[in-house]
């Protein structure tokens, strides 16, 4: 028996092999859920679905009709949707004065407007209640230089989470977010190839190590289960990083150069 037996989950942002979305999807499958993995790349989604005996769908989170079709299509096939996870993101690192209008528009669409669409579509279709989970970031709370557009859009989505939790709690819908720190995933491969950089980050974590996608999947599993009596919250699943700070740019540069 799995804690998600009988549940149908959508995991959006699962189109890169081994990424956080795929790890979350695997954890849900291991615990009995029916899972639809979604994203913009057909081949890796189809491969994951074939290997894990689940469904996949193409969806660009920035396109509202595609987001709505993802959710309603899942309901039509499986009878309901109980869990929705948004694990999309773009790790834009750009000095404040160099961030272009095009980059601002793109990251706002991906990390603020798109999540808004996704929560709207899920809340409109969760007739039996459910759990909506937004993957946020520790940098929505603490500083990291040259990261303003990313941080601002993640922080904005966290506030949308709080609003939706308040609006839809009476319908049995829980809405929460999870904030990783530096996490080993395909998006951070470049960082993890430089051990000295990882060590500079790790010394700021009270628990002594940076995070893994499995850490985030464990938290998502808790939020997805019916025993979770929590809504409108941001879980800091980052080993205590937000008790301290991210490294400064000069420290990272020194480690990179070394």
Region of residue 106 (phi > 0: left; psi between -120 and 50: alpha; otherwise: beta): alpha
Mean pLDDT, the chain, as a whole number? 94
Inter-residue contact 95 to 19 (CB < 8 Å) = no
Residue 195 — very low, low, confident or very high, per pLDDT cuts 50/70/90? confident
pLDDT (tens digit per residue) in 122-138: 999 999 999 999 999 99
Residue 199 — very low, low, confident or very high, per pLDDT cuts 50/70/90? confident
Residue 188 — very low, low, confident or very high, per pLDDT cuts 50/70/90? low
| 211's tokens | 């995070």
Q: Would you kindly state where each structural domain of the chain is located, as residue ranges?
A: 8-186+211-239
Distance between CA 182 and CA 202 in Å, rounded?
9
* CATH code, residues 8-186+211-239: 3.40.50.720
Distance between CA 129 and CA 226 in Å, rounded?
10
Percentage of the chain beyond pLDDT 90 is 87
Q: What is the CA radius of gyration of the chain?
A: 18
Distance between CA 109 and CA 31 in Å, rounded?
32
Region of residue 173 (phi > 0: left; psi between -120 and 50: alpha; otherwise: beta): beta
Q: Is the pLDDT of residue 30 over 90?
A: yes
User: HSE of 91 in the Cβ direction (CA atoms, 13 Å)?
Assistant: 14
Q: Is the pLDDT of residue 93 over 60?
A: yes
Among 75, 71, 69, residue whose Cα is nearest residue 85: 71
Q: Is the pLDDT of residue 191 over 70?
A: no
- The helix (H) or strand (E) run that includes residue 36 is strand 34-39
Strands (E), 106-243: 130-135, 173-178, 183-184, 211-212, 234-235
Q: Is the pLDDT of residue 189 over 80?
A: no
Q: What are phi and psi of 171, to 5 degrees?
A: -95, 10
Mean pLDDT value across residues 54-68: 98
Q: Is the pLDDT of residue 71 over 70?
A: yes
| Strand-pair category, 183-184 with 173-178 | unpaired
Q: What are phi and psi of 167, to 5 degrees?
A: -70, -35
Q: Is the pLDDT of residue 190 over 70?
A: no
Q: Is the pLDDT of residue 193 over 70?
A: no
pLDDT (tens digit per residue) in 109-166: 999 999 999 999 999 999 999 999 999 999 999 999 999 999 999 999 999 999 999 9
Mean pLDDT value across residues 45-64: 98
> Residue 163, SS3?
helix
Distance between CA 200 and CA 89 in Å, rounded?
23
Residue 192 — very low, low, confident or very high, per pLDDT cuts 50/70/90? low
Distance between CA 250 and CA 53 in Å, rounded?
47
- Count CB neighbours of 10 within 10 A: 32
For residue 201, the model assigns a pLDDT of 87
* Range 31-70 burial, b when 16+ CB lie within 10 A, else e: bebbbbbbbbeeebbeebbeebebbbbebbbbebebbbbb
Q: Is the pLDDT of residue 5 over 70?
A: yes
């Amino acid at each position: 028996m799995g804690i998600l037996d009988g549940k149908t989950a959508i995991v959006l942002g699962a189109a890169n092999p081994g990424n956080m979305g795929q790890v979350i999807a695997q954890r849900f499958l291991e615990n009995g859920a029916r899972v639809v993995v979604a994203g913009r790349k057909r081949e890796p989604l189809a491969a994951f679905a074939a290997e894990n005996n689940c469904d996949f769908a193409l969806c660009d989170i920035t396109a509202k009709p595609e987001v709505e079709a993802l959710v309603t299509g899942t309901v039509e096939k499986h009878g309901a949707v109980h869990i929705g996870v948004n694990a999309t993101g773009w790790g834009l690192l750009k000095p404040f004065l160099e961030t272009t209008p095009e980059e601002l528009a793109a990251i706002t669409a991906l990390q603020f407007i798109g999540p808004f669409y996704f929560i709207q579509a899920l809340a409109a279709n969760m007739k039996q209640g459910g759990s909506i989970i937004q993957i946020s970031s520790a940098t929505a709370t603490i500083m990291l230089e040259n990261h303003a557009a990313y941080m601002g859009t993640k922080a904005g989505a966290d506030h949308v989470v709080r609003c939706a939790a308040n609006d839809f709690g009476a319908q049995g819908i829980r809405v929460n977010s999870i904030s990783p720190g530096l996490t080993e995933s395909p998006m951070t491969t470049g960082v993890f190839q430089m051990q000295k950089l990882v060590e500079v980050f790790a010394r700021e974590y009270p628990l002594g190590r940076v995070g893994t996608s499995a850490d985030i999947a464990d938290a998502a599993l808790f939020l997805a289960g019916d025993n979770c009596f929590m809504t409108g919250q941001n879980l800091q699943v980052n080993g205590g990083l937000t008790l301290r700070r991210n490294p400064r740019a000069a420290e990272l540069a020194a480690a990179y150069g070394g």
